[in-house]
Amino acid sequence: MSWTCPNCKRILPSSNQYHSCYITTKETHTNKMSAEVLETFELLYTYLNTFEKIEILYLKTCIQCKIGATFLSIYHRKDRLILEYQLNREEDQFPVYKCKRISKNRVLHRLAIESPIEIDNQLKAWIKDAYLTIRKI
């Protein structure tokens, strides 16, 4: 049964789910990025907009890409983007620097990218798989 937060109007799975009511804008995040990281983000953003029915939320600490549930979180630093996503399998290979099983069928992955050239076919495949994994819920 879903619940709508009375403060931020976000729809959440339950009333006790932790979330941030602090919603920002795309510019709030991109203004803090270096030129190369901004170019990398824009390329990633263009790719994400090819997916069906996604919602992009600009929160205080990250950018969340959702299809019902979050399939990708983007944490920006001045010199890089940190991507966090879930797959139904472990893909512990470069540039992934963290894999953590969070349930029987979910493995959290974290990686960092610094330039547009790092948004290659492998990274796009992992993001697409994360999208499809969450879409099946």
What is the CATH number for 72? Answer: 3.30.1460
pLDDT in tens, 48-80: 999 999 999 898 889 999 998 889 999 999 899
Q: What is the pTM of this model?
A: 0.85
Query: Within a domain: residue 45?
Result: yes
| Structural domain that includes position 127 | 22-135
Query: Within a domain: residue 48?
Result: yes
Helices (H), ranges, 19-137: 26-30, 35-48, 121-135
Residues in Cβ contact with 64 at an 8 Å cutoff, skipping those fewer than 6 apart: 56, 57, 70, 72, 73, 74
The residue assigned the tokens 């290979």 is 93
pLDDT in tens, 19-35: 676 677 888 888 889 99
Domain count, the chain: 1
